Amino acid sequence: MIVCVALIAGAVTLVLMLSPGRAAKQEFIKIGKDSIPSVMYILGEQREVTGVSTSTENGVTKKVLSYRVAEYQREDMLDYAGALYDNYGFWYFETNVGDFTPGEGIDLRLAKESVEDDYIIILRIDYDSSGYTITITRARGTLTVND
């Protein structure tokens, strides 16, 4: 009986932690021992979060946050990525977005070393005319930066 109650309490806690409304208000996104500045924290105002999911498979943790934004998706994500690069130790890993033309940008990736040895954080940004999706992956690995 106690185990059942503990499992239900844990499930309720997980659902509350992953709720879109709560995610929109968070200043930092927790993944493992790492804290990544949120869109709200970087931009200084909330955006509507429509979905949050977290999964772990084979030691790789992935957190996906989806946002609905009617305007300025491109500007939001360029500001967000720029701040991560300028102020939070991220490096541009891969860009597959051409010239960042308004309306759509796919597969902009940044990476940084985790606070935990032998782990890295990869942050992927995709956006289109309805909003953007941020995918944060934490996995074993090393980061080599060539200037």
Predicted pLDDT of residue 1:
56
d(CA 126, CA 38): 15
Instruction: Give the C-alpha distances (Å, rounded to integers) separating 56 from 77, 109, 132.
Output: 26, 20, 22
Lowest mean pLDDT segment, chosen from 4-13, 33-42, 55-64: 4-13
Give the confidence band of 67 by pLDDT, cuts at 50, 70, 90: very high
Give the confidence band of 13 by pLDDT, cuts at 50, 70, 90: very low
Contacts 24+ apart (CB under 8 A), 90-98: 90/123, 91/143, 91/145, 93/122
Average pLDDT over residues 127-141: 91
Residue 80 has pLDDT above 80, yes or no: yes
Predicted pLDDT of residue 142:
87
Residue 144 has pLDDT above 90, yes or no: no
Q: Please state the pTM of the whole predicted model.
A: 0.80
Predicted pLDDT of residue 97:
47
Q: Angle at Cα 46 formed by Cα 41 and Cα 48, nearest 5°?
A: 130
